[in-house]
Chains A and B, each alone.
Chain A
Amino acid sequence: MPLRIPILFHANMQHSIQEVTDEWPRMSEIIETITFRAGYNTGMVIGGTALLGLAAGIIGVFALLRKRSLMTDALSHATLPGITLAFLFAGTFGLESKSLPVLLVGASVTGVLGVICVQLILHHTRLREDAAIGIVLSVFFGAGIVGLSYIQANAPGDSGGLNHFIYGQAATMRVGDVVLMGSIALVAIMATLLFMKEFAIVCFNDAFARVDGWPVGLVDLFMMALVVLVTVAGLQAVGLILVVSMLIIPPVAARFWTDRLSVLVLISGIIGATSGYLGATVSALFPRKPAGAVIVLTAGCIFVLSMFLAPKRGVFAHAIRRVSVRVKVAGDHLLEHVYESRQSTLTSDDFANFARMQGWSPLFQLLIRFALRRENMLGSKTRSEIRVTEAGLERGARVSRNHALWEQYLVSHADIAPSHVDWSVDMVEHVLSDELIHELETALRNQGVDFPPSLEGVG
């Protein structure tokens, strides 16, 4: 059997590995490639892969919403034994063993079988989903590897092409293969757009859909079938290990940008198509850059950018919101402190003391003062003290009064001991709305509970 010598692990390799610098293609070549003019074949591959990315991005949204992301991983790994079996037995049925449609049919059969096995394991044993997916993934893939090694060692004829299904080989695809891939992708896109309403209802509330009379099982099955189609279509271009990430990454990245399904599908499709397009282009320009890896990394970059920069759900936006709330709360506390100490200025010593008691870091102190000054709550600053403006004092008074109101409410209505209320009040006093304050006042007044007078009279 021909041994593949692994360079990383082979103990007797004498010469060291040096980095290979890829030769950069000329500018004209780059422009030709990205504008689909670098030959018919290359253009087809790029277009086909972009279409595939679009399809995967769209159908991936539903897989994500259905929490099936890792299930697709099991599915794609389970296609390998089907490919080898189709290769081995196609001849018996009088088919050409290396024809792509035959191999892809084999891939779909074992892929679906893998998904069924996951369901069977979940249904008949006490193993959890993660274990079931891992079992199917590894065992099926192991069977595929046995098949591959058997073919390499024993089967007549050239079997080299089979390896391409693992890592993908977009650049060497033939026009016929690309057309097949593209048309599968198109079918998947059309079907998804046609059945969007059904998919949405099953994804968001399958119990309701069932009660409402939708054939949930059927719709679910159809969604899974589309996932199988996209996976199988992507095998040759992207490879079975990475095709799953075309289904997972674009929707996850798109999810950061929107809460609406239609927009989600659109963005996810665009991300998928962009990564597919870029991946195939780079792989056409640089012979040693596998398309699958480039596609995934492109999608990965978009994911990382989305995760950090998305305006509402992004990590940065989130952090900024959290910090600004904390700054506001701290500012409220400071003004409340000034109001309650019945002064109109804040001495530096006092501020330092208060900051130490609250545990504010120096940076945080700066932030608070900056925020308050911007809102005109703090005025001019001399060497030893800071002036608090009218507005600042009023805010302090308001916070102080809210604090007292809520405290009274908790003691008289929620049966909390007076010594225990302060802590939770500190958190709530900043978020009381005007209506709520009004309601509190009425409730407390009816109870005959004392509370601080309204602020109308206060400076």
Chain B
Amino acid sequence: MYFDLALDLFPLLAAALAAVCCGLLGNFLLLRKQSMMGDAISHSVLPGLVIAFLIASTRSPLVMLAGATIAGVVTVVLVEFVKRFGKVEPGAAMGVVFSILFALGVLLIEKAAVRHVDLDAECVLHGQLETLVWYSAPATISGLWSVETLDAIPRQIITLTIILILAIGFVSLLFKELRLASFDPALATTLGFNSTLLHYLLMIFVAAATVASFEAVGSILVIAMLICPGATARLLTDRLRTQIVLSVLIALFTAVGGYFSATIIPGWFGRDTVNAAGSITVFSGLVLSLTIIISPSHGILSRMIRRIRLSSRVALDDLLATMYRAQEQAQAEMSASDISDAILRSKPQPLLNRAVKRALIQRHRGMYSLTEKGQRAARSIVRRHRLWEHYLVDQAGLAPDHVHETAERLEHLPPVPPAGPQTDPQGKVIPDDPQVP
């Protein structure tokens, strides 16, 4: 039995809600290059919580939430203050502010605690997912449909749900403004949106989401969820809408996947479960690493494949062009070693084989020559090369003996150079366009 209503339902729900909430807001932090602000806020809500508690002497969620949110906003203001008036580099300003506030929190938490109660700031980091046990859970899923279920829902989950609904409302209502302010704050300001106000509003939401989440999942998961899902989605798409939807789905996926990795995998080796918040964090890191490698648009692998394809096409182009030029010099056939010298490749055989396979060149008694199809392809390349040379001399004003290198690069690219005269700057004939009969 991998899923136990009593043990797993509420922790899983809390983790998923927190992940989605942070993942959603994290998109905008990421775009504004403010990801570390999430880190700073989640450190500095600690003194906010403790001070709110010391003043109000109650743990009521509203008081805690208010204290932490104020601390979050104070952090943002202080960082801005230190940055502007102290002329401190942004990263260092953030580091100074959040570590001082965090140290204050650590000290205050010690002060607030009775000696014999085991309180340490570690719970703030690790999260308390495992404590959300539902002792009187029904035995089956169908038993969930009752009023008792509503009563049993832990406070953390209710808080998280409210914050999530508010965050969704915030993002969908102000989507246009957020998008504008994220990509071009200056333009937003000139258009009459107060992008600073919007920024602070976002920060208030981040602070609220942070505190609502880390009651349940711990601050380290909050930081991870503010950054990782958004970053993962950013590597998969260039559209903001898609990115947001993807990031929410990824957040949900990592929460569920990470949670079950924590509860199930250790069991395979006969061990106790490990910390779920930590495991979700690691899981989100794994999802991100995987995306970095295999993302179709921005992944390392696909970029590598594109590069290899491009370089092999360039090599083929160069081979055909070389043979065409040799043909112009009345050398219709070339040996492998001639070609090797001409295209500066020590081992031309694989390239030659590929060209033969594509019926671009043919082999006859160890000598290679262009086929009909190769002829056409080569003419098109040489034509582009010489037209570019003409263009660079004629339009860009380069000296005729300086254009070859540039044309050598341009000839492989899709744009077709404008038509020109019959000969290139060196007086060589520009071949006709093979497409035109």
Contact = CB atoms under 8 A, between A and B. Distances in A.
Contacts, number: 261
Given A124-B292, A141-B220, A315-B85, A17 B114 contact: yes
B260 to A, nearest CB: 14
A9 B59 contact: yes
Contact of B103 (A73, A149, A297): A297
Interface in B409-435: none
Given A4-B120, A8-B53, A150-B274, A70 B91 contact: yes
Contact of B96 (A8, A128, A252, A297): A252
A431 interface: no
A288 B119 CA distance: 12
Contact of B231 (A4, A127, A153): A127
B275 A242 contact: no
A374 interface: no
B227 A131 contact: yes
B119 A142 contact: no
B52 to A, nearest CB: 10
B400 interface: no
Contacts of A20: 111, 113-115
Interface string A121-146: 10011111011011101110111111
Interface residues of A, number: 76
A419 B221 CA distance: 62
B259 interface: no
At the interface, is chain B mostly helix, strand, loop or mixed? helix
B235 interface: yes
A149 B279 CA distance: 10
Interface in B338-393: none
A292 B33 CA distance: 29
Contacts of B300: 124
Interface string A148-175: 1110011000000001001100000000
A190 to B, nearest CB: 25
B125 A166 contact: yes
Given A127-B231, A315-B86, A138 B106 contact: no
Nearest to B87: A313
Interface in B204-251: 215, 218, 220-221, 223-224, 226-228, 230-231, 234-235
B89 interface: yes
Interface in A1-16: 1, 3-11, 13, 16
B148 interface: no
At the interface, is chain A mostly helix, strand, loop or mixed? helix
B23 interface: no
B88 A255 contact: yes
Contacts of A277: none
B271 A70 contact: no
B275 A149 contact: yes
B329 to A, nearest CB: 44
A148 B262 CA distance: 13
A146 B59 contact: no
A154 B266 CA distance: 10
Contacts of A288: 110-111, 115
Contact of A3 (B43, B130, B154, B226): B130
A67 B91 CA distance: 7
A289 interface: yes
A174 B342 CA distance: 72
A8 B61 CA distance: 10
Contact of A1 (B33, B218, B234, B272): B272
Interface of A: 1, 3-11, 13, 16-20, 64, 67-70, 73, 121, 124-128, 130-131, 133-135, 137-139, 141-150, 153-154, 163, 166-167, 241-242, 244-245, 248-249, 251-252, 255-256, 288-290, 292-297, 300, 303, 307, 313, 315, 318
The 6 closest A-B pairs by CB, nearest first: A142-B281, A139-B285, A245-B99, A145-B278, A149-B275, A296-B103
Given A4-B118, A241-B43, 14 more contacts: A8-B50, A18-B114, A19-B54, A67-B92, A135-B224, A139-B288, A142-B220, A142-B280, A167-B121, A245-B99, A245-B100, A252-B86, A292-B106, A303-B100
